[in-house]
Amino acid sequence: MATFFGSPPFPSHPISRTNRLCSSPQAPPPQQPTQPTPSQKLSATSAEPPSAATVKVQEEKASKPAIPARVESTDWIASTLTRRFGLGAGLAWVGFLAVGVISEQIKTRLEVSQEAADTRDVEKEEEVILPNGIRYYDLRVGGGASPRPGDLVVLDVKAKLQDSDEVLIDTFGGDRKPLALVMGSRPYSKGICDGVENVLRTMKAGGKRRVIIPPNLCFGEEGADLGSGVQIPPSATLEYIIEIDKVSIAPA
């Protein structure tokens, strides 16, 4: 044909074809590394085992004894005064407390000394008859305080039937313990009765009286059982020896 049209023949080049495997999939693009979130960092950190230094610190904290709570006292006043006004103010406060304690001790000793000075024995017994029928004789006039309602009275008591030598109660002498009575409290015990409390109101600490109490202010028409085989017969008139050892404020 080239010669037929009078033109030079076309060069003939072989066509090359690239063999592709259509059945094989394309490779996925590489993924960019993602940054962990703060919560993931925290969980990863907590999951890591503790280091040797951390374990040592924890052991030292566990081995330290617990610090006791600060005891409230007046020491903070002295420390505050010392910080604000100097050492002299703190020492002055400590001295004030010391003077207060010493003054209370001196006051107590003076009261005891005054009570002893004002206590005197009676040279001649005189009978005093009260409107309620109680009769008493002062053996010693006390110089201390008089009992008031609610006060604690420590006293020695000796009781017997009138015109009889049979002793029912006796706390005087030896290793016997005195009785204790809170003024106005009920019920009575240890042989104490209304008549005894009535007499105590007009006595003072250190005083001593012989008292005769009628049945209506004693144990009445029924009498009483004081225990340990001690019986007070019905309608009995009792004779007491009463001595006040101490008068104080009853504990709360």
Instruction: Kindly state whether residue 143 falls inside one of the protein's structural domains.
Output: yes
Residue found by looking up tokens 């109680």 in the block: 134
First-to-last C-alpha distance (Å) of the chain: 142
The reported pTM is 0.56
Instruction: Kindly state whether residue 54 falls inside one of the protein's structural domains.
Output: no
| pLDDT of 190 | 80
Instruction: Kindly state whether residue 9 falls inside one of the protein's structural domains.
Output: no
Amino acid at 240: Y
Instruction: Kindly state whether residue 217 falls inside one of the protein's structural domains.
Output: yes
Q: Which two tokens stand for residue 185?
A: 């409290």
Alpha-carbon 57 to chain mean position? 38
Amino acid at 180: A
Instruction: Kindly state whether residue 110 falls inside one of the protein's structural domains.
Output: no
Question: Considering its fold, how many domains does the chain have in total?
Answer: 1
Instruction: Kindly state whether residue 8 falls inside one of the protein's structural domains.
Output: no
Closest CA to 159 of 95, 42, 250, 243: 243
Q: Which two tokens stand for residue 103?
A: 């003054």
Secondary structure string (H, E, C) spanning the chain = CHHHHCCCCCCCCCCCCCCCCCCCCCCCCCCCCCCCCHHHHHHHHHHCCCCHHHHHHHHHHHHCCCCCCCCCCCHHHHHHHHHHHCHHHHHHHHHHHHHHHHHHHHHHHHHHHHHHHHCEECCCCCEEECCCCCEEEEEEECCCCCCCCCEEEEEEEEEEECCCCCEEEECCCCCCCCEEEECCCCCCCCCCCHHHHHHHCCCCCCCEEEEEECHHHCCCCCCEEEECCEEECCCCCEEEEEEEEEEEECCC
Amino acid at 6: G
Closest CA to 203 of 155, 133, 131: 155
Instruction: Kindly state whether residue 16 falls inside one of the protein's structural domains.
Output: no
Whether the CB-CB separation of 149 and 184 falls below 8 Å is answered with yes
Closest CA to 218 of 159, 177, 170: 159
182 half-sphere exposure, CB direction, 13 A CA radius: 8
Check which CATH number belongs to the domain holding 152 and give it. Answer: 3.10.50.40
Instruction: Kindly state whether residue 95 falls inside one of the protein's structural domains.
Output: no
Cα–Cα distance between 250 and 252 in angstroms, integer? 6
**pLDDT, one tens digit for every residue, the chain (252 residues):** 444 444 444 444 444 444 443 344 455 555 555 555 555 554 444 445 555 555 455 555 555 555 444 444 556 565 665 666 666 655 665 666 565 555 555 545 555 666 666 788 888 889 999 999 999 999 999 999 999 999 999 999 999 999 888 899 999 977 888 999 999 988 887 889 999 999 999 999 999 999 999 999 999 998 888 888 888 999 999 999 999 999 998 886
Range(s) of the domain holding residue 191: 127-249
Q: Which two tokens stand for residue 177?
A: 């313990």
| pLDDT of 121 | 87
| pLDDT of 191 | 84
